[in-house]
Amino acid sequence: MKHTLSLLVENKPGVLARIAGLFSRRGYNIESLAVNTTESSEISRITLVVDGDEKVLEQITKQLYKLIVVLKVNDFTDVPVVERELALIRVNSDTNNRRAIIDLVEIFRASIVDVSERELIIEITGDSEKIDAFVKNLEPYGIKEMVRTGKIVMPRGMRLNSK
């Protein structure tokens, strides 16, 4: 089962290496990762998606807490959250299909951020499912390149369930 973990860590050099290293040497796989600073410049937030059962998750959480630089580990898996990912997609597009693609972009509330004769670059944000669905719809036109960020999440309403 996939879990979304949200970590607060000290914003210091090498912190990401410590965390990534912990995952790799203990045989856990990171599926998605997003890092940046928070409202405090001394603290960064790392959001990661990992696969594993409850036991694995418990062990991951405990091992993360052993790192001196980790301040907080939240498991947002069963918590209502606002979840976002961003993707930039370079897709084939000529005059024949341009209208159809623009329609798709509107339906998905994506936006076209670059136009040239044979291709478009489209930006889309949303949860992973939305982006997956958009990508699927674009595929027939020929996706030339895609970059996706890691997932970021924020719990809805009041703060919940911190481990």
Partner 1 sequence: MEMTVAQAIIKFLQEEGVEVIFGYPGGAVIGFYDALYDSSLRHVLVRHEQGAAHAADGYARASGKVGVCVATSGPGATNLVTGLATAFMDSSPVIAITGQVRTNVLGKDSFQEADITGITMPITKHNYLVKDPEKVLTVFKEAFYIATTGRKGPVLIDIPADVFMAKINYSYPSNINLPGYKPTYDPHPLQIKKAINLIKSAEKPVILAGGGVISSNASSELLKLAEKINTPVITTLMGKGAIPEDHHLYCGFLGMHGAAYANFTVNNSDLIIAVGVRFSDRSTGRVDTFAPNAKIIHIDIDPAEIGKNVSASVPIVADAKIALQRLYEEVEEKNNPNWWAQIKEWKEKYPLKYKNSDEVIKPQYVIEKIYEITKGSAIVVTEVGQNQMWAAQFYKVKYPRQFITSGGLGTMGFGLPAAIGAQIANPDKLVIDIAGDGSIQMNIQELATAVCQKLPIKIFILNNSCLGMVRQWQELFYRKRYSCTLFDFAPDFVKLASAYGIYGRRVEKPSEVEDAIYWALEKNDAPTIIDFKVVREENVFPMVPAGGSIDKMMID
Q: Which residues bind partner 1 (CB under 8 A)?
A: 9-10, 13-14, 17-18, 21-22, 25, 55, 58-59, 62-63, 65-71
DSSP 22-36: HHHHTT--EEEEEEE
Minimum CB separation of residue 19 from partner 1 in Å reads 10
Contact between 138 and 101 under an 8 Å Cβ cutoff? The reply is yes
- In the bound state with partner 1, the residue whose beta carbon lies nearer, of 43 and 102, is 43
- Single out the residue of 70, 73, 84 nearest to residue 125, CA to CA: 84
Distance, CA of 142 to CA of 130 (rounded, Å): 19
Instruction: Return left, alpha or beta for 70; rule: phi > 0 is left, psi -120 to 50 is alpha, else beta.
Output: beta
- In the bound state with partner 1, the residue whose beta carbon lies nearer, of 71 and 104, is 71
Minimum CB separation of residue 45 from partner 1 in Å reads 14
Minimum CB separation of residue 119 from partner 1 in Å reads 39
